[in-house]
């Protein structure tokens, strides 16, 4: 009798230990409990867990956002650690968008393809990014912004590895498409993660820091690309993303908070109507930025053309964090309106400038204006985000950047061609766009970011 009781006690203990393990949902099916918690009143059977059960369990765990370590979560500066993790993705996205263009001639020569064909190395990335960014932002609002951001880094890094090892144009373009999806997962969540991590009165400063990281990536892209291609070949510009991606994954897992306020309701596009003036003005600002970067090499042919062009993104990087910290004190509408008017004034000077110093000075004025505009405008748009949809709003915001980039090159190229290569007329056209953006900001209602 005592021996039977001991065996029954050991069986109950075994089942209790098994069902309290992480695999308890699986083991529970293999141990059907009896009326008193003992397996059929007999000794426990060896659990039978199928491979499909294990795969299903692993996949379910991969869809759960891990919490930050307590040592990070309990720090007063934890929100700024989240901003630091996001800036890695912001920097990486802009760096990769600009760095690849430098490598196109070498890729063309090595793979033996035409100029028209090699352009798809850049186009595949940009078109995929634009096409998927809103959908990715919507999915992130439903299933987790941290989850999509971290997996975006992983997908981007793996696609970069594939691109670096590609031996044909077809494979390279395919991996650039996958890179574009990974970049969409990063960019659609970057501003949203800042907006949900920081107190509202610090939102402008956080977005300003993110904007500065993007400007630095844009600034360094051509120079870093030329250096890397010259010493290690075009494959290296993609392979360098792998360790950066690994760093981004680690920082995202440790520093980013789990998503709050996930929204699974239907999209109501009318909820985005109050942000429309800001979105259109933002599109205009990116049109101006990339239009200038496109046309200036046609007017200034000095040996230090790249250095002169650096004045524009460099001043954006310096101005954006300062302007972001002034959003609460000065007001978003005043900063955005003044910023675009200053950019228009800089473009007028640029149309009259000659020589390296005057050209760089005019570009610097344009950079200060755009640097003042961007964080205030983005903070205002995020303040108007519908409840539970910061990822969707961030995706729309980043879509305007992609469209503005494409429209800037297209409009500038069209005007330049139609005017038989008149750079002053082309630049003054961009100044008119900046004025329109300023007017859009001047007539909108003030978006108050609480202090």
pTM, to two decimals: 0.73
- 10 Å CB burial of residue 168 (0-12, 13-18, 19+) is exposed
pLDDT at 59: 65
Q: What is the pLDDT of residue 179?
A: 93
Residues sharing a CB contact under 8 Å with residue 303, sequence separation 6 or more, in sequence order: none
Query: Is the separation of the CB atoms in 335 and 281 below 8 Å?
Result: no
| Torsional sign, CA 440, 443, 445, 446 | positive
pLDDT at 102: 74
Is the separation of the CB atoms in 183 and 93 below 8 Å? yes
Residue among 124, 115, 222 nearest 172 (CA): 124
Please tell me the CATH code under which domain 268-451 is placed: 1.20.1250.20
CATH node for 78-260 = 1.20.1250.20
Q: What residues does CATH 1.20.1250.20 cover in the chain?
A: 78-260, 268-451
Which residue in 87, 85, 92, 167 sits closest to 129, CA to CA? 92
From first to last of its 451 residues, the chain has per-residue pLDDT tens of: 445 454 444 444 444 444 444 444 544 444 444 444 444 555 555 566 777 777 766 666 677 777 888 898 888 889 999 999 988 888 887 787 777 777 888 898 899 988 778 888 888 888 898 889 888 888 888 888 899 999 999 999 999 999 999 999 999 999 999 999 998 998 888 888 888 888 877 888 888 888 888 888 877 777 777 788 888 999 999 998 999 899 999 999 999 988 766 666 666 767 778 788 888 998 999 899 888 888 887 766 555 666 787 888 889 989 988 888 888 788 788 899 999 999 999 999 999 988 888 888 999 999 999 999 998 888 888 888 777 777 778 888 888 888 888 788 788 888 988 998 888 999 999 999 999 999 988 776 666 554 4
With b for 16 or more beta-carbon neighbours within 10 A and e for fewer, the 207-245 pattern comes to: bbbbbbbbbbbbbbbbebbeebbeeeebbebbbbbbebb
pLDDT at 302: 58
User: For residue 158, what pLDDT is reported?
Assistant: 96
Which pLDDT value is given to residue 340?
95
DSSP at 35: T
């Amino acid at each position: 009798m005592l021996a039977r009781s001991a065996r029954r006690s050991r069986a109950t203990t075994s089942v209790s230990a098994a069902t309290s393990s992480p695999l308890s949902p699986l083991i529970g099916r293999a141990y059907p409990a009896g009326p008193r918690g003992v397996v059929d009143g007999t000794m426990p059977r060896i659990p039978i867990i199928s491979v499909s059960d294990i795969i299903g369990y692993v996949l379910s765990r991969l869809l759960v956002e891990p919490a930050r370590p307590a040592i990070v979560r309990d720090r007063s500066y934890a929100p700024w650690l989240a901003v630091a993790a996001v800036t890695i993705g912001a920097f990486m996205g802009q760096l990769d968008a600009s760095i690849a263009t430098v490598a196109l001639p070498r890729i063309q020569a090595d793979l033996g393809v035409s100029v028209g064909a090699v352009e798809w190395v850049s186009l595949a990335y940009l078109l995929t990014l634009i096409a998927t960014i809103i959908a990715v932002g919507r999915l992130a609002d439903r299933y987790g912004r941290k989850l999509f951001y971290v997996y975006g880094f992983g997908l981007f890094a793996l696609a970069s590895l594939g691109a670096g090892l590609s031996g044909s144009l077809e494979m390279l373009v395919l991996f650039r498409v996958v890179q574009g999806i990974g970049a969409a997962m990063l960019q659609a969540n970057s501003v949203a993660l800042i907006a949900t991590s920081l107190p509202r009165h610090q939102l402008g400063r956080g977005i300003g820091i993110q904007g500065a990281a993007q400007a630095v990536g844009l600034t360094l892209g051509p120079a870093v690309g030329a250096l890397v291609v010259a010493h290690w070949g075009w494959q290296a510009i993609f392979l360098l993303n792998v360790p950066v991606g690994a760093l981004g994954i680690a920082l995202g897992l440790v520093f980013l908070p789990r998503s709050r306020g996930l929204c699974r309701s239907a999209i109501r596009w009318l909820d985005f109507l109050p942000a429309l003036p800001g979105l259109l003005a933002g599109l205009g600002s990116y049109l101006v930025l990339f239009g200038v970067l496109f046309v200036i090499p046609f007017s200034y042919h000095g040996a230090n053309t790249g250095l002169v062009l650096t004045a524009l993104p460099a001043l954006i990087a310096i101005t954006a964090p300062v302007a972001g910290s002034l959003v609460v004190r000065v007001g978003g509408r005043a900063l955005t309106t003044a910023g675009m008017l200053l950019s228009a004034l800089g473009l007028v000077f640029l149309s009259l400038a000659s020589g390296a110093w005057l050209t760089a000075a005019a570009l610097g004025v344009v950079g200060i204006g755009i640097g003042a505009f961007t964080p205030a405008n983005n903070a205002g748009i995020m303040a108007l985000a519908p409840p539970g949809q910061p990822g969707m709003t961030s995706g729309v915001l980043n879509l305007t950047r992609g469209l503005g980039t494409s429209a800037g090159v297209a409009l500038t190229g069209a005007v330049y061609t139609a005017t038989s290569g008149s750079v002053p007329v082309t630049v003054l056209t961009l100044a008119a766009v900046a004025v329109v953006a300023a007017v859009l900001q001047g007539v909108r209602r003030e978006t108050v970011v609480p202090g």
